[in-house]
Amino acid sequence: MYVQDYDETYPMAYMQYSAPNRDWYGNDDNNAAYWFTIMQPYVKNKQLYICPTAGEIQTTSGRQYSGGYGWNICGTKYTGASDGSGNGFGYQPAQPETPTEGFLKLAQVQEAANTVIIADPPSNGYSSNGRYFYPSGGHYNYIPVLHGGKVGPFTGHGSAGTTLSSHEGGGNYLFADGHVKYLSASAAWSNNSIFNVDKTITTGVNN
């Protein structure tokens, strides 16, 4: 519904606006809004964003944003540059991390039924896992292992291990065509093209 309302354009994970837009917990974060806040008028249910397995994400400073799912910002290609062309659905306008180096249109997503847009939070505690999902560059630590694996609270990445063999369990993935599927961590990473909008980019599998 959001894409239809905005000229067949996907949002990015982190959007900036000129007017203050406070998050759910009352924090004014540089007049920014995250994807889950942007979609709230369509969803109309904040509890939906809190994974019942993970609960609210807790950090050393307290509650961490939505406490739930993460946006696929860059696919398996992360540049970290303002003009960088990643392979996901976008980080922020100043650092897009998309194949187009800008906002993605509906028609630009190759194989929507085979492209992840939102996923369970990783079970390692990446501190922003209530906002983003980072499957980039061989980082198994960013692959969900909530179901059947280690469960938080999470305060720092790395605790889930650094090889696939240490990533028991898996996670639920929302694909760009709207369907949801559970995948084990090893299955998700062995077919890691599912994280990439542009399927012409090949990605290696690091074991």
SS3 83: coil
pLDDT profile of the chain (207 residues), mean per 10: 92 72 52 77 82 63 59 86 87 89 92 92 53 59 70 44 61 92 86 88 49
Note whether 117 and 179 are within 8 A (CB). Answer: no
Q: Where are the domains of the chain?
A: 47-195
pTM across the whole model: 0.81
Structure token pair of residue 46: 């904040």
Note whether 54 and 146 are within 8 A (CB). Answer: yes
